[in-house]
A and B are shown apart, each in its own frame.
Chain A
Amino acid sequence: AQTVTQSQPEMSVQEAETVTLSCTYDTSENNYYLFWYKQPPSRQMILVIRQEAYKQQNATENRFSVNFQKAAKSFSLKISDSQLGDTAMYFCAFMNFYGGATNKLIFGTGTLLAVQP
């Protein structure tokens, strides 16, 4: 069974600084997706960034980038130039890719990030 581990329950960063959130996962599969979802206070989870396991290049989306280390089964999220609006719970998630009807997500426990002014 796949598992996702986020070892940092809470983190804090100063506005405009850079922060890295850690995530490790365990799987015996070779084809899969990894995601970071953001859940602001009292709002729905939204997708921040995704990575296909078969792609060696790390995904980036504006200020958000990942460091995907497939052999180490590590998938960290780097947020550059942190903004107050980045304050949220961040979930790392795993999805098997087998093209079937079900694309269920397996989540970590989340990291609560607070951006300080």
Chain B
Amino acid sequence: EPEVTQTPSHQVTQMGQEVILRCVPISNHLYFYWYRQILGQKVEFLVSFYNNEISEKSEIFDDQFSVERPDGSNFTLKIRSTKLEDSAMYFCASSRTGIDTEAFFGQGTRLTVV
């Protein structure tokens, strides 16, 4: 069964460093999302992406964040200069269409900023 895959599963980085979280969505899906969950808090929407551009972003998704679909299969989230408060589990998701409401999630990347 097709699934969304995320790498790495756990990343430790020093404060101020850039990190790139990678996701491979399901191949025939067109809509892509990033969510994050700070330990003990809600899963929060970060950004949605369609047709090679951001379709919506939350107030969390500031200039430190960017997303890209560099090669037609990967979907990446870049954090330019990590802060301690960026430590969280980051989930990638994809859906087939905009009106197809089921989103398929990856296992998540646990980002620890030290």
Q: Which residues of A contact B (CB under 8 A)?
A: 4, 33, 35, 37, 42-47, 50, 91, 95, 97, 99-110
- In the complex, how many residue pairs between chain A and chain B have their CB atoms under 8 Å apart? 67
A102–B48 touching, CB < 8 Å: yes
Which listed residue (A37, A44, A91) contacts B106, Cβ 8 A?
A44
Q: Is the CB of B48 within 8 A of A91?
A: no
Q: Complex Cα distance A102/B53, Å?
A: 12
Footprint of A on B, CB under 8 Å?
3-4, 31, 33, 35, 40-45, 48, 50-51, 55-56, 91, 95, 98-99, 101-108
A33 to B51, CA, bound (A): 24
Shortest CB-to-CB span from A86 to chain B, Å, is 18
Q: With the chains together, A103 CA to B49 CA distance in Å?
A: 11
* Chain B residue, CB-CB nearest to A43: B107
A102→B56 contact, CB < 8 A: yes
Q: Is the CB of A102 within 8 A of B98?
A: yes
Of A42, A97, A107, the contact of B44 (CB 8 Å cutoff): A107
Q: Give 15 A-B contacts (CB < 8 Å), ordered by A residue.
A: A33-B101, A44-B4, A45-B105, A99-B98, A101-B31, A101-B48, A102-B31, A103-B31, A103-B48, A103-B103, A104-B45, A104-B48, A105-B35, A105-B43, A110-B42
> How far apart are B3's CB and chain A's nearest CB, in angstroms?
7
Cα distance A45–B89 in the bound complex, in angstroms:
13
